[in-house]
Amino acid sequence: MAPQLLYCHVNETEVSELFLKISRYLPEDRQCHSRFILTRSPLDSKVFLLEFLNAQSLRDLTLLIEHAWFLQVLTQQGLFFNFQPIVHLASERIVAHECLARAQGARGEEFSGQQLINAALQMNMTHEFDDAARTACLEALGKVCQQFAGSDPQPTFFINVLPNAIAQNPTSLKENCQQVLNLGLRPEQIVFELTEVEALGDHPELPRLIQQVRDWGFGLALDDLGSNVAIDHYCTEFRPDVIKLDRRLVHQCSRYPLKQVMVRSLLQFAHELGILVLAEGLELLEDIRFCRDIGVDLGQGFGLGMPKLAPWEKPVQIKPAIAC
């Protein structure tokens, strides 16, 4: 296709809407190969041609406009957290909660965790998002745990951590550890959950940092194991307290023999190393029963408890199987 020039007369209040329309009309690859300028010069002006030499990437601007809400969330501290229960399957007791990031925009609209992650990836701001989310999460936990003062045992919380983010800024995790103490929390109440663990291999200095955090008393979980992650390497390298089985493996595991073989194998491997196993994405009652009956330690998913603004206090009830 021959190069084309679009020249539009707009006032200042119409600029954002124009670029949003362009972003919806042009595919992403076309946006990456397109350039734009904002000018007051007429089309036939010689100055216009000189200005055009400094044209910027159209995709850079459409991303900024599409995700302006995300920048506002980070700068205005618009993050909040939902709590999803983690259940000890044998006893049906809630033993911990995972903290799930959410956000509220300037006009009151809510954004899911997946929307936040997608925006961070597209804006190339995963490190900034991860740092901000961890800090905001601990601040929220400081307030939540005041409700449980004097209770025994104290509640435990899983907090997501991106390995690439702490590799980029290793002091951030140490600052979070100090933040925990400043808030009056105990290290054993916090389990740092490493997501995207494939990235751990790219940062040989991370095992030392993670071991230091563990020496301070914090727990460690590895997420999404059993998908494309080499469980033997990461479990022996980091010796986590908990491994979380990938939801793609767990979902409908009660119906597929191959999944059952894989879950049993991972369970045996982890238990021989003294590692607890958490089945993530438990939605179906038959999957919950299967995992419980073969000895999976912990479970998490909509079938056990939906995320909500406050930690769960009532125990869950796994219905018994009906004899046929």
For 27-71, the pLDDT digits (tens) are: 767 766 666 656 667 777 777 667 666 666 666 666 667 777 888
Q: Residues with Cβ < 8 Å from 76, sequence gap 6 or more?
A: 106
160 secondary structure, DSSP code: E
Calculate ∠ Cα 114-117-118, nearest 5°: 85
Q: Give bridge partners of residue 157 from the DSSP assignment.
A: 97, 190
Q: Quote the longest CA-to-CA distance of the chain.
A: 86
Q: Give bridge partners of residue 299 from the DSSP assignment.
A: 87, 279
Place 205 in a pLDDT band, splitting at 50, 70 and 90: confident
On the question of pLDDT at 229 being above 60, the answer is no
pTM over 0.85: no
C-alpha closest to that of 200 among 159, 169, 163: 163
Architecture of domain 77-300: Alpha-Beta Barrel (3.20)
Question: CA 198, CA 163: separation in Å to the nearest integer?
Answer: 9
Q: Give bridge partners of residue 218 from the DSSP assignment.
A: none
| Lookup result for tokens 């073989």 | 261
Asked if 157 and 189 touch (Cβ cutoff 8 Å), the reply is yes
What would the pLDDT profile of 141-194 be if each residue is shown by its tens digit?
998 888 776 666 778 999 998 887 887 788 888 899 899 999 989 999 999 998
On the question of pLDDT at 2 being above 60, the answer is no
**pLDDT of res. 8:** 72
On the question of pLDDT at 120 being above 90, the answer is no
Q: Which residue has the higher pLDDT, 204 or 303?
A: 303
What would the pLDDT profile of 252-302 be if each residue is shown by its tens digit?
999 999 999 999 999 999 999 999 999 999 999 999 999 999 999 999 999
What would the pLDDT profile of 303-316 be if each residue is shown by its tens digit?
999 999 888 876 66
Q: Residue 164, class by beta-carbon neighbours within 10 Å (0-12 exposed, 13-18 middle, 19+ buried)?
A: middle
**Which spans in the chain are helix H?**
15-25, 28-32, 46-52, 58-66, 68-75, 113-122, 126-144, 163-168, 170-182, 206-215, 231-238, 247-250, 257-272, 285-294
On the question of pLDDT at 321 being above 60, the answer is no
DSSP letters, 37-88, are ----S-TT-HHHHHHHTT-EEHHHHHHHHHTHHHHHHHHTT-EEEEEEEEEE
On the question of pLDDT at 324 being above 50, the answer is no
On the question of pLDDT at 130 being above 80, the answer is yes
CA 117 to chain centre: 6
Six-digit token string for 245: 């089985």
CATH 3.20.20.450 domain extents, the chain: 77-300
Q: Give bridge partners of residue 98 from the DSSP assignment.
A: 84, 158
Q: Give bridge partners of residue 97 from the DSSP assignment.
A: 85, 157
Calculate ∠ Cα 3-59-72, nearest 5°: 155
Question: CA 295, CA 270: separation in Å to the nearest integer?
Answer: 12
| Lookup result for tokens 């563990």 | 214
Of the given ranges (13-17, 43-47, 101-105, 253-257), which has the lowest mean pLDDT?
13-17
Question: What average pLDDT does range 9-21 have in this prediction?
Answer: 65
**pLDDT of res. 67:** 75
On the question of pLDDT at 13 being above 80, the answer is no
